Chains A and B, each alone.
Chain A
Amino acid sequence: MADPARLPLQSYEGPACPRCNARLTADWIHTGIVRCPDCDGDFEAMAFKPPPRRLVVEHVAASGPIEANACANHAKNAAVTACQRCGLLICALCDMDVGTGSYCPACFDRLRMENALQSATTRYRDYASMARVTMIAGLFFSFMFLGIPFATVSLFYARKGFKQLRAEGRSIAGLIIVVIFALLEFVGGLVMIAFMIYAFAKVKK
């Protein structure tokens, strides 16, 4: 078995010196100019003390069984909402609200696995980059008549990229240039094929 001390995983351990990455203890976390005890380098800092997040969990005992329904997972807690997917009554502890509605933990996990919750997606494909790369590859291989398939793939990715960039609120200027080049590549490929057919026909005559 591998030595756990040798594992390359580097977990985040909290505030550190931005110069040398040495972990800062509570004494060194303050507002103003901080001099790192390890590297002796200084940096400007603004320290915060975020209050711990407290959930208001209403108990069924406090409101009475007639006033409130019990949570499906925590019998003592009063339900505050129902899962949008399965309708299960859930308390504030179970309420997985990611801005698109309330879900119970089981439904949230399933939707996240299926990538159905956009706001909970943490990994996705960058279609704009894919469109750019296929367009450039098409330019390189256009002399081998591969410009047309590459341009088609580039335009396909560009279409998806437009949707993605719009959803993210980013500029689409770069992608428009990619589309123009992909169209030129496509038309150029067609012209090349047409010219070759014409040339062959002329030679045959």
Chain B
Amino acid sequence: MTPASRRMIGRNAGLMTRELIFETPDAIEVESREGYEVTRRRVLYEEVLLVTFHRALGTPYVVFMTVMTSLFGGLALIFLLSIHEPGFAIAFGIVTLPFLIPLVIRLALKLDLVTVFGRRSKAVIRFPFRKRRAREVYGRICSRTMEVQRAMVEAEPVAAPIEEPPLPPE
């Protein structure tokens, strides 16, 4: 566990990953959850090499949702048009909706991703809905990194030459 001085800034939830991303004064903290076990790693601001921002569709998600929508939607259409059973068609139509609505939302809004590459690890933050927040987080990470690394350069000590102790007189 870490002290309370951290704030959750986003998530990275995919088919295989379940991560919570936090912002701390000196690092981006990533908590991966596998069942009840939580593994934490940090991307220190003083080690950040690259911060990226891009918009993607999320192909595996879209493919999965399209398959499910076509499966249940197809069954609904078969029941409605071929078998003429509107009751079953409505039931399958209702089952289709939880797949169709997220698919349409994803196609319309797409997925914003902020990736922070450090020297030893990276952090990915996904924003399916809050686009302005994605920009804000990207900007904040960049400015904080700049601030920390500038402070490091300014505080860099000037190496004093090591004086050899005088040798004893011969």
- A→B interface (CB under 8 Å): 12, 14-16, 18-19, 24, 29, 34, 41-51, 53-54, 56, 59, 61-62, 64, 118-119, 121-126, 129-130, 164, 166-170
B160 touches A62 (CB 8 A): yes
Tell me whether B63 is interfacial, beta carbon within 8 Å. no
Listed stretches B77-85, B102-110, B115-123; interface member: B115-123
Report, nearest first, the 8 A-B pairs whose CB atoms are least far apart.
A169-B4, A43-B54, A15-B117, A18-B115, A15-B50, A44-B53, A46-B51, A46-B142
Instruction: Find chain A residues with CB under 8 A from B142 CB.
Output: 46
Contacts of A46 in B (CB 8 A): 50-52, 142, 145
Question: Is B101 an interface residue, CB under 8 A from the partner?
Answer: no
Interface centre among B4, B41, B113, B157 (most CB of A within 10 A): B4
Cα distance, A14 to B118, chains bound together (Å): 7
Residues in B with CB closer than 8 Å to A24 are 50
CB of A12 within 8 A of CB of B1, answer no
* A50 and B152 in contact, given A14-B117, A43-B54, A167-B3 (Cβ under 8 angstroms): yes
The reply to whether A61 and B48 form a contact with Cβ atoms under 8 Å apart is: no
Do A41 and B37 form a contact, CB below 8 Å, given A50-B149, A56-B157? Answer: no
Tell me which of A34, A50, A164 contacts B48 (CB under 8 A): A50
Is B13 part of the binding interface, using a Cβ–Cβ cutoff of 8 Å? no
B37 contacts A48, CB within 8 Å?
no
Cβ contact of B122, chosen from A12, A47, A51, A123, cutoff 8 A:
A12
A48 touches B49 (CB 8 A): yes
Number of interface residues of B (CB under 8 A): 48
Find A14's partner among B49, B146, B157 (CB 8 Å cutoff): B49
Nearest CB in chain A to that of B149: its residue:
A50
Tell me the smallest distance from the CB of B128 to a CB of chain A, in Å.
16
Residues of B within 8 A of A121 (CB): 1, 40
**Nearest CB of B to A114, in Å:** 15
CA distance A129 to B36 in the complex (A): 7
Q: Would A62 and B162 count as touching, CB distance under 8 A?
A: yes
Cα of A51 to Cα of B119 in the assembled complex, Å = 12
Q: Are A123 and B49 in contact (CB under 8 A)?
A: no
Interchain CB contact under 8 A, B1 and A167: yes
Q: Which residues of A contact B3 (CB under 8 A)?
A: 119, 167, 169
Asked if B164 lies at the interface with its beta carbon under 8 angstroms from chain A, I say yes
Q: Quick one: CB contact mask for B131-168 with A, threshold 8 Å, 1 for yes?
A: 00000001000100110010011001101101111000
Can you give 5 A-B contacts (C-beta < 8 A)? A45-B51, A47-B49, A50-B48, A51-B153, A167-B4
